A and B are shown apart, each in its own frame.
Chain A
């Protein structure tokens, strides 16, 4: 597979530093990630995915990519950098827990006693996931990148 730099740098190289993404980014507005600054560095490979925690402060609202007049797709560049960061151990514990819940239960949120009580009260089907589907889900994870983060 191509390295993150080979995938992200050509996109980031389209960036003209117009600042549209910086102006619309809600994370930057509230002291989080700075997309235009990140794009400038990504274009020349000057990022440190293993240690830049701000990569995880993007809410994926996609306003940056929608507004970008250069098709540089900052949202996708951030996603590519995150995948690299995760592979190097820079990933929020919340997402590691979520990845493990997904492979165990097929879901990203826990099904609790309250879930079952509410579903019953509202006359909804129980919605339990069958064994075959859980096996399929786990097999796909094993064969793809998320498998790196799963403790069997």
Chain B
């Protein structure tokens, strides 16, 4: 019983993770673009329970950071004043899920800004940027996967159902796309699209590029299912009764592909999130000031940041739980369908 619903548990876990990112406005203490020029590259703050005199406080607190005298990037705690961490505080305006205007944040502090995972070059809160960046990266992954699956179903169904020269042509092209080193293909396609565009345009460009590149394998799987489904007795019978192609495909054949498509979705989404990350990391994705998981890492290409500010690496770790969730979901779905495959998702595609 528990075994049977393994994929549902994974799905629930993924839904919770996505929910947190979708409600970034609530969970993030600040606006991702809000700067604090007094505190660039602030390291993650320590949250205390014991104060200077050794007294225990139930409410966690932190100390405000100030520049150490005579230095320009060393901070020290001002231990005179403990600033308590508060929950459900009122802060920057945001729209929950893009709809509900609100000012309530999950946590924050009233007297000073709190940086749980540090700040970046402009003193922007890293935690807020990670959460908001996740919206961009995950949405790009989800929409890209949707686009790819739509293309795959179209091509796979055409090739499998009509066969003949269409099948031969489409499958040759699929071989071509499937055989190329993925990241090279992705970059080549990105290379010939406009480079300096607004963040929104860049976002859609990326979805387009990612979506156009990965369709080969799912299309082949869909084709296989369609090939076997169209020979079923009930499909033949329906055709004998005069059913049209479109009706047959919609009513009898495409529903058979649903399990393949679900499994492929679970594999494609993390792959495409990573693809977005990689493109943005390389400076070919969504540009500043809009955060995405990839562009948050781009600053690590500067040697000085790499050496001195290790917490700039923390955004990279945000993707790991998502990877775990999707990997678990994919293998649970495959187990359910009895076609377990070992899949590795890398920036270079999957294999």
Chains A and B come from one and the same complex: no
